[in-house]
Amino acid sequence: ETGVTQTPRHLVMGMTNKKSLKCEQHLGHNAMYWYKQSAKKPLELMFVYNFKEQTENNSVPSRFSPECPNSSHLFLHLHTLQPEDSALYLCASSQDPQGRKEKLFFGSGTQLSVL
Amino acid sequence: EDQVTQSPEALRLQEGESSSLNCSYTVSGLRGLFWYRQDPGKGPEFLFTLYSAGEEKEKERLKATLTKKESFLHITAPKPEDSATYLCAVQAGSSARQLTFGSGTQLTVLP
């Protein structure tokens, strides 16, 4: 298997549920990212991990909790979400986390609906 | 604050009808401008990176150009399979790790 794989593809959850999104990259990259994509809005960067260390957190609410156990895996733990958190959550990876070549490889995303 | 504006929001073309998509940007110290293609139900797929004004890149029916204020994605003789949302993003010196994305142009090519 190659590329960036995200599971599940679709998720429906209530506001009191706890769930996790999973991302795995098979590209040997060193940096991994979580993005949020809402309808008609630009992609919003949520978190960046570089060699398993979180390097950026774009003022994301604490109900979103990322975890990066190694350079190939990334999780996004969700709890007590709000309906406005419904969106497509995209995972991405890149090879060159420090340089100018910020070419990202994206997964297909998890379409999240919060009821 | 870095800003990226794409126009038009949506574009419908007949097969073979060439056109251009626009990406205007305001950043402090452009390090790179990126074009991505996104199909429904999928993540964005990388197309091009442009680094300096005057630079051009081509891939099949697509050609990307860059000036100091904007980038164009020219589509020559498009086919229905070119239908997708095209995203523009910039990487600026002020936030070297982050990409600032535009809202995209949804392109539909009719047979």
> pLDDT tens across A32-72, in order?
999 999 988 999 999 988 877 777 777 899 999 999 999 89
At B96 the pLDDT is 56
Q: Is A103 on the interface with B (CB under 8 A)?
A: yes
At A57 the pLDDT is 76
Task: Tell if the CB–CB gap between A107 and B43 is shorter than 8 Å.
Answer: yes
What is the signed CA dihedral for B73, B43, B34, A27, rounded to 10 degrees?
A: -130
CA-nearest residue to B51 within chain A is A100
Q: Is A102 on the interface with B (CB under 8 A)?
A: yes
**For residue B49, with 0-12 CB atoms within 10 Å meaning exposed, 13-18 middle and 19 or more buried, which class applies?**
buried
CA-nearest residue to A39 within chain B is B103
Angle at CA B87, nearest 5°, toward B47 and A3? 50
At B67 the pLDDT is 96
**For residue A66, with 0-12 CB atoms within 10 Å meaning exposed, 13-18 middle and 19 or more buried, which class applies?**
buried
Q: How far apart are the C-alpha atoms of A110 and A6, rounded to whole Å?
A: 7
Taking contacts as CB-CB distances below 8 angstroms, the residues of chain A near B101 are: 42-43
Distance from CA of A87 to the nearest CA of B (A): 12
| Residue in B45, B96, B103 nearest the CB of A40 | B103
Structure token digits, residue B1: 């604050």
Q: Is A10 on the interface with B (CB under 8 A)?
A: no
Element (H, E) at A106: strand A105-106
At A60 the pLDDT is 92
The pLDDT tens digits for B62-93 are 999 999 999 999 999 999 999 999 999 998 87
Give the number of other Cβ atoms within 10 Å of residue B67's Cβ.
13
